[in-house]
Amino acid sequence: MLHRRNFFRTLGTAALALPALSGLPRSLSAQPMTAPKRLVIWFTPNGVPFDRWFPTAGATERDFTLSEMLSPLERHRERLLVLGAREWDPRYVRNERGISIKCVPDTPSGGHQLGMLLTGAPMATYDGVELGSAPSIDQLVARAIGDQTRFPSLELGARVGGNEGQGKRLVYRDAGQWIPAVDRPEQVWDRVFASLVGSPDERERDLARRRGVVDFLHGRYASLRTRLDVGDRATLDAHVTALREVEGRLTAPLNACEVPGRPDIAPRRWDDYTDLPDLIEAQCDLLALAFACDQTRVATVQITEAASNARYPFLTGTEEWHHALSHDNSPESVDKLAQIGAWHAERLSGFLDRLAAIPDVDGRTVLDNTIVFWANEMADGVYHTHQNMPFVLAGGGGLRTGRYLQLEDASHNDLLLALVNLMGVDVDYVGAPEYCTGPLGGLT
């Protein structure tokens, strides 16, 4: 197994002493002392056992004790804003407490539809395929600030699921337009760093070839467009938009920065999840470096998928499936769920370590200028509830951290709106307007 400390060595870059951001992005060159804001959405699935997750509240918001599942985040305590309910009674799992996702249909439903989590909108069917019906918040932000970096956003993942299904579809460019997560680190490297390596000659030749092909394709798309029926042109146009995005990357300035080695993690059989630790480590390293090189400012990290049946034998010593465990409230299963949750909290903590180690242009750290939102598609896994969602915010970017914020019946859409507003996107609602009353207060 590859551990974090030697992974940076494997990547061939200077361990955690990452270079200060160099090669200022275009938009910032006029005001070099202002650092850009960044947004990271971190996803893990299947809900949580409440009594092992939520902190114990103290006399004030700052005076709280992290639960066993969140304890690995203790070292970032001053950078956390944990969201929860003022009070809750486990006998009434559907009481509107804390933050509730309100666009979930009562029935019929599997409850694991991932397309609601970041869109705040109900699922809808597009030509027979069920998808999110609004842009996800990361994409709203990417629309606003994405043109300032080579990648408007990066969608990363680890074992996001190979089967067709709504369970893995987290990110939406727009209604019905799903963006897949890239869950192989070497593919992330190929996208972000490959064009930074090689001799200038080789790079020039490669670029000429790619440009030649893209130019050719623009001609073919334009020609096909005139032949298609008017009603089919929107579909083709979406492809042309995607082609332009790819093309833009060929010519975008590549900020000088350290290029890591290409990760090399052998793919496993579909039911063998022992590569999950290495995959998450590698993706965190690549994302931290992508931030350090200012290749993007918006990212999602999707760990497995909604209703994930990942197995964690390296933790729990058993081959039980995560989703199966989440439907069982026996003490043994809850113990294993708590172990899995704490392990995920440690992965996030490690990612926050990396961001905290990168100096930003304003003399602070990248973590200080990043909003991290740890999200889950579900609250209670046994009963498939969406009340008192187990959400954690971390980082900076305007958040007032070091607190446990207890809420009464807050709408999830209001939280999404508040995050988008904090990222400087000036909109009045997110997703389904009927669930939006205004940006959630108390975050700043």
CA–CA distance, 184 with 186 (Å, rounded to integer): 6
CA–CA distance, 151 with 191 (Å, rounded to integer): 9
Residues 275/281/287/291 CA torsion (nearest 10 deg): -170
185 or 397: CB nearest another protein? 185
Q: Does the protein bind another protein through residue 207 (CB under 8 A)?
A: no
Q: Which of 230, 266, 331, 426 is close enough to bind another protein by CB under 8 A?
A: 230
Alpha-helical (H) ranges within 146-294 are 185-192, 200-227, 233-251, 276-292
Q: Does the protein bind another protein through residue 128 (CB under 8 A)?
A: yes
Do residues 270 and 10 lie in contact, with contact meaning Cβ atoms separated by under 8 Å?
A: no
x-marked contacts with another protein along 410-439 as a string, rule CB under 8 A: ------------------------------
Q: Which of 182, 342, 410, 415 is close enough to bind another protein by CB under 8 A?
A: 182
CA–CA distance, 441 with 297 (Å, rounded to integer): 24
| Cα R_g (the chain), whole angstroms | 22
Q: Which of 1, 30, 59, 234 is close enough to bind another protein by CB under 8 A?
A: 234
At 303, list the tokens. 């760990």
Q: Does the protein bind another protein through residue 41 (CB under 8 A)?
A: no
Q: Quick one: how far is CA 360 from the chain centroid?
A: 21
Min separation Cβ 319 and another protein, Å: 8
Q: According to CB under 8 A, which residues from 139 to 178 bind another protein?
A: 155, 162-164, 173, 177-178
Q: Which of 1, 5, 108, 426 is close enough to bind another protein by CB under 8 A?
A: 108
| Cα torsion 18, 79, 427, 105: sign | positive
Q: Does the protein bind another protein through residue 228 (CB under 8 A)?
A: yes
Q: Does the protein bind another protein through residue 266 (CB under 8 A)?
A: no
Q: Does the protein bind another protein through residue 239 (CB under 8 A)?
A: yes
Q: How many residues bind another protein (CB under 8 A)?
A: 64
Q: Does the protein bind another protein through residue 110 (CB under 8 A)?
A: yes
Q: Which of 271, 332, 408, 434 is close enough to bind another protein by CB under 8 A?
A: 271
| Cα torsion 241, 244, 249, 252: sign | negative
Q: Does the protein bind another protein through residue 127 (CB under 8 A)?
A: yes
Min separation Cβ 425 and another protein, Å: 20
Give the type of residue at 419: L
Per-residue burial over 204-220, b if 16 or more Cβ lie within 10 Å, else e, is: eeeeeeeeeeeeeeeee
Q: Does the protein bind another protein through residue 56 (CB under 8 A)?
A: no
Q: Does the protein bind another protein through residue 201 (CB under 8 A)?
A: no
Q: Does the protein bind another protein through residue 190 (CB under 8 A)?
A: yes
The three-state secondary structure class of 251 is helix
Q: Does the protein bind another protein through residue 383 (CB under 8 A)?
A: yes
56 or 274: CB nearest another protein? 274
246 or 427: CB nearest another protein? 246
CA–CA distance, 137 with 375 (Å, rounded to integer): 12
Min separation Cβ 176 and another protein, Å: 8
Angle (CA) 348-353-358 rounded to 5° is 130
124 or 214: CB nearest another protein? 214
Per-residue burial over 301-321, b if 16 or more Cβ lie within 10 Å, else e, is: bbbbbbbbbbbbeeebeeebb
Q: Which of 47, 72, 98, 111 is close enough to bind another protein by CB under 8 A?
A: 111
Q: Tell me the CB-side half-sphere exposure of residue 89, using CA atoms within 13 A.
A: 3
Q: Does the protein bind another protein through residue 78 (CB under 8 A)?
A: no
20 or 228: CB nearest another protein? 228
- 209, β-bridge pairs: none
Q: In Å, how far are 73, 152, 200, 239, 294 from 174, measured between CA atoms?
A: 33, 14, 38, 14, 25
x-marked contacts with another protein along 208-227 as a string, rule CB under 8 A: xxx-xxx-xx-xxx-xx--x
Min separation Cβ 12 and another protein, Å: 23
Min separation Cβ 325 and another protein, Å: 11
Do residues 198 and 295 lie in contact, with contact meaning Cβ atoms separated by under 8 Å?
A: no
At 286, list the tokens. 């690549």
Do residues 35 and 311 lie in contact, with contact meaning Cβ atoms separated by under 8 Å?
A: no
Residue located via tokens 């990612």: 351
128 or 200: CB nearest another protein? 128
Residues that bind another protein (CB under 8 A): 93-94, 104, 106-111, 127-129, 155, 162-164, 173, 177-180, 182, 190-191, 205, 208-210, 212-214, 216-217, 219-221, 223-224, 227-236, 238-239, 242-243, 245-246, 269-271, 319, 327-328, 382-385
